[in-house]
Amino acid sequence: MSPSRVREGRERGPIVAIGGAEDKVGAEAILQTFVRICGGRRARIAVIPTASESGSTGRTYETLFKDLHVEGVRVLSFDSRDACEDQESVAILERASGVFLTGGNQLRLSTTLGGTRVARALRRMNASGAPIAGTSAGAAFLSEHMIAFGEEGPTPRHGMVSLAPGLGLTNRVIVDQHFRQRDRLGRLLTAMAFNPFAIGIGLDEDTAAFIAADDTLDVVGSGSLTVVDASQLEFSSLDAAKQGEPACLIGLRLHILVDGASFDLKSREATAPRAARKEE
């Protein structure tokens, strides 16, 4: 599924992928930045906790955003496909200046929201300028190709990862979350070997990728963001490997980015944080 078409004279809104466990009690850099791009104190944020099985998740983020002094917060559960077709609820969603998808299970997002009025509304909203953010499972769901589940470990292996359709706000990246904490390099490498046209984004916890309309990515947070660029992949043995066997991948490029660094998804060029460049 390709991103929704941006109308002439308009600009796509930011896409914000968060690795999960973002700071909620300290500087709250990621949430503060998201609120700012949604309008600051004038922001009206819709929280969608569909991915979570906990009934308290939506209320937690409602409290967090209220504490950041936004104009309004609305929790929209969308816990069934029927609920995702409700015109009144979709109309409430479309009045938001920004949307936040919580963590949980990304397959709950794809199987509940996929192909519904809600999914179409989210795509239209982003194409019209509204920022759409997702944390953990919500982050994985933002792109066209979504990592549904997979095994842990640093080595790519045949059968290590399963992909499913995501929301489709962008087709330039494949996102994995809780990256370093859950040792997910191998499954992201495997996903990229199947889809070398895209760029792999591995997000540590409390780390976010803010992707602007011009496809530049800025890193915010306390962890690191791993970029896997498979555009120059020379060889992959995944087609011949048996289930569980390690794969040989030659020609990959990898970058480790931290707060303040950026990456151009079009030119595939990384830029160090400004402070680090001054020290050189």
Predicted confidence (pLDDT) per residue in 181-227, tens digit = 999 999 999 999 999 999 999 999 999 999 999 999 999 999 999 99
Q: What is the pLDDT of residues 5-21, one digit of tens each?
A: 888 888 999 999 999 99
| Annotation says 97 is catalytic | no
Q: Is residue 110 very low, low, confident or very high in pLDDT (cuts 50, 70, 90)?
A: very high
| Annotation says 136 is catalytic | yes
Is a pLDDT exceeding 60 seen at residue 279?
no
Going from the N-terminus, what domains does the chain have, and what CATH number goes with each?
Answer: 15-265+274-278 (3.40.50.880)
- At 277 the pLDDT is 62
Cβ neighbours around 196 below 10 Å, total: 18
- At 192 the pLDDT is 97
| Annotation says 222 is catalytic | no
- At 169 the pLDDT is 98
> Which one of 110, 144, 145, 178 is the catalytic residue?
178
Q: Are 106 and 140 contacting, i.e. CB atoms less than 8 angstroms apart?
A: yes
Which residues does 232 contact at the CB level (< 8 Å), separation at least 6? 251, 252, 253
Query: In terms of residues, how long is the chain?
Result: 280
Is a pLDDT exceeding 80 seen at residue 228?
yes
- At 152 the pLDDT is 97
Is a pLDDT exceeding 90 seen at residue 1?
no
- At 79 the pLDDT is 96
Q: Give SS3 for 213.
A: coil
Is a pLDDT exceeding 80 seen at residue 148?
yes
Mean pLDDT for 25-53 is: 97
- At 280 the pLDDT is 54
Q: What is the pLDDT of residues 111-139, one digit of tens each?
A: 999 999 999 999 999 999 999 999 999 99
> Which one of 52, 97, 110, 136 is the catalytic residue?
136
Question: Which pair of tokens denotes residue 10?
Answer: 């308009």
Helix (H) or strand (E) holding 175: strand 173-176
- At 129 the pLDDT is 97
Name the amino acid, one letter, at 56: S
Q: Are 183 and 154 contacting, i.e. CB atoms less than 8 angstroms apart?
A: yes
> Which one of 52, 89, 143, 205 is the catalytic residue?
205
- At 9 the pLDDT is 81
d(CA 178, CA 184): 8
Rg, the chain, Cα only: 18
Is a pLDDT exceeding 80 seen at residue 244?
yes
- At 94 the pLDDT is 98
Is a pLDDT exceeding 80 seen at residue 258?
yes
Give the mean pLDDT of the chain.
96
Mean pLDDT for 68-80 is: 97
d(CA 241, CA 158): 6
- Kindly state the percentage of the chain with pLDDT values over 90: 94
Q: Is residue 275 very low, low, confident or very high in pLDDT (cuts 50, 70, 90)?
A: confident
Mean pLDDT for 146-159 is: 97
Q: Is residue 24 very low, low, confident or very high in pLDDT (cuts 50, 70, 90)?
A: very high
Which residues does 280 contact at the CB level (< 8 Å), separation at least 6? none
